[in-house]
């Protein structure tokens, strides 16, 4: 079990570069097994989820190598095999192997995926899509069996609710299916566009990614000719924007796609943060006299559910009460009791999180219940006086590229230790 040790109270300054998008990467790696050639990704974040996905690839005789942000995957010798349940259960995005394996072999067997426990996230829309494409679906003792002995065929799929996961899984299954598939009420997130770009560059025929209707004409082969550079992580960027506004004396954030962050940066500007937004970077000056705001999470291009928790510590500095209503995951409140231990005036009732002005946070021993809760606690720990110990820090490392190195370059005092107190870089 890893712990993050934070000596709080330092003002931060300098520059930080955002890594590739986690939510793109965890879909692109399963997508790579649809290729008939080796695949190369650039700007891959160095996070635990990537290493867990590489373990899953290895179980299928898919060789992968990760060095300095470049991930090479060779699926040309892929074999059907039982996937390692431990790795599958460690991250929810492993469910993308359902669509990828179904598209490649016309069958798949997976244990139910794990990942963050942030409330119900059923996969019924995924299974509905697979059935529409011609697969039979059965569930037994936590395991899903998918089978399409006669192959997959194009179909019209209407998602009952906007779901990023179901949109991606339907795309992965349909891209090599026979005929044309139309996905309606599709999610519009930038990571879906990134996936479609990767697949199209290999010969796929996907149109409409980024709109609510995606049209896919199946192809017989996918062949990678070029390195695919993963888009910048808008959630990591938003986390550092909040951090910089909360306790920065001037921080420049590089490798940002401002269009992906408009719902978030507009709230920061509403709070009184004088962001200086350029084409691919954002400068955050020292911020004072912040105003409270009301946030409601929505599917993209609305305010991202993954950014409500990282914004919370900044909200505690505002002169008044701020509120958050998470319409995506209303039970995403694991951070609240932990922030209360640090002295933050925050509570949840009737589906709303209320953050009151808090003069000073103090260090405490807390637990990161999931990735974004961990990000919130990290920012709070840096703001607090004294030492903060965050247990279950592996959850933070699952989603944030080289976070300790990046924070310390901004003059923070952060380290990671395991149970035997051996420091980890």
User: Is position 147 annotated as part of the catalytic site?
Assistant: no
Among residues 49, 116, 233, 326, the one annotated as catalytic is: 116
The answer to whether 80 and 68 have CB atoms below 8 angstroms apart is no
Q: Is 92 annotated as a binding residue?
A: yes
DSSP string, 186-229: ----HHHHHHHHHHHHTT-EEE-BTBSEEEEE--S-----SPEE
- CA gap 260, 307 in Å, rounded: 12
Pairing state between β 276-277 and 281-284: antiparallel
Q: Is 38 annotated as a binding residue?
A: no
- CA gap 376, 371 in Å, rounded: 9
Q: Is 23 annotated as a binding residue?
A: yes
Q: Is 22 annotated as a binding residue?
A: yes
Q: What is the Cβ-side half-sphere exposure of residue 304, based on CA atoms within 13 angstroms?
A: 24
Pairing state between β 180-184 and 156-158: parallel
- CA gap 135, 126 in Å, rounded: 11
The answer to whether 348 and 333 have CB atoms below 8 angstroms apart is yes
Q: Is 379 annotated as a binding residue?
A: no
The answer to whether 171 and 183 have CB atoms below 8 angstroms apart is yes
Find the angle CA(93)-CA(200)-CA(299) to the nearest 5 degrees: 45
- CA gap 262, 257 in Å, rounded: 9
Q: Is 123 annotated as a binding residue?
A: yes
- CA gap 333, 356 in Å, rounded: 16
| Residue numbering of the annotated binding site for phosphoenolpyruvate | 22-23
| Residue numbering of the annotated binding site for UDP-N-acetyl-alpha-D-glucosamine | 92, 121-125, 306, 328
| Residue numbering of the annotated binding site | 22-23, 92, 121-125, 306, 328
* Residues classed as catalytic: 116
């Amino acid at each position: 079990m890893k712990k993050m040790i934070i000596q709080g109270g330092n003002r931060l300054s300098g520059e930080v570069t955002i890594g590739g998008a986690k939510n793109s990467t965890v879909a692109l790696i399963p997508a790579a097994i649809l290729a008939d050639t080796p695949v190369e990704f650039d700007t891959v974040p160095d996070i635990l989820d990537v290493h867990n996905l590489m373990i899953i690839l290895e179980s299928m005789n898919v060789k992968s190598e990760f060095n300095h942000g470049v991930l090479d995957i060779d699926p040309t010798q892929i074999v059907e095999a039982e996937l390692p349940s431990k790795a599958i259960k460690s991250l929810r995005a492993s469910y993308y192997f359902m669509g990828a394996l179904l598209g490649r072999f016309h069958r798949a067997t997976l244990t139910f995926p794990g990942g963050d426990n942030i409330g119900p996230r059923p996969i019924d829309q995924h299974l509905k899509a697979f059935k529409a494409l011609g697969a039979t679906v059965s569930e037994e003792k936590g395991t899903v069996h998918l089978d399409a002995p006669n192959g997959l065929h194009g179909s019209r799929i209407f998602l009952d609710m906007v779901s990023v996961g179901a949109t991606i899984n339907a795309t992965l299954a349909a891209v090599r299916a026979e005929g044309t598939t139309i996905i309606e009420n599709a999610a519009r997130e930038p990571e879906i566009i990134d996936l479609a770009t990767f697949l199209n560059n290999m010969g796929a025929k996907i149109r409409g990614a980024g709109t609510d209707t995606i049209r896919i004409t199946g192809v017989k082969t996918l062949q990678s000719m070029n390195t695919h550079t993963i888009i910048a992580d808008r959630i990591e960027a938003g986390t550092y924007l909040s951090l910089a506004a909360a306790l920065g004396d001037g921080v420049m954030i590089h490798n940002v796609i401002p269009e992906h962050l408009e719902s978030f940066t507009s709230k920061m500007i509403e709070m009184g943060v004088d962001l200086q937004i350029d084409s691919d970077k954002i400068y955050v000056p020292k911020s004072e006299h912040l105003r409270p705001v009301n946030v409601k999470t929505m599917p993209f291009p609305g305010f991202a559910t993954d950014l409500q928790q990282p914004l919370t510590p900044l909200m505690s500095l505002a002169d008044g009460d701020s509120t958050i209503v998470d319409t995506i995951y209303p039970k995403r409140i694991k951070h609240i009791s932990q922030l209360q231990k640090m002295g933050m005036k925050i509570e949840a009732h009737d589906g709303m999180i209320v953050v009151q002005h808090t003069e000073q946070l103090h260090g405490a021993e807390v637990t990161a219940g999931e990735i974004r809760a961990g990000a919130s606690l990290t920012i709070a720990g840096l703001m607090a006086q004294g030492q903060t110990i965050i247990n279950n820090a592996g959850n933070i490392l699952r989603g944030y590229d080289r976070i300790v190195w990046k924070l310390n370059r901004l003059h923070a005092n952060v380290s990671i230790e395991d149970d035997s107190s051996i420091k980890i870089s």
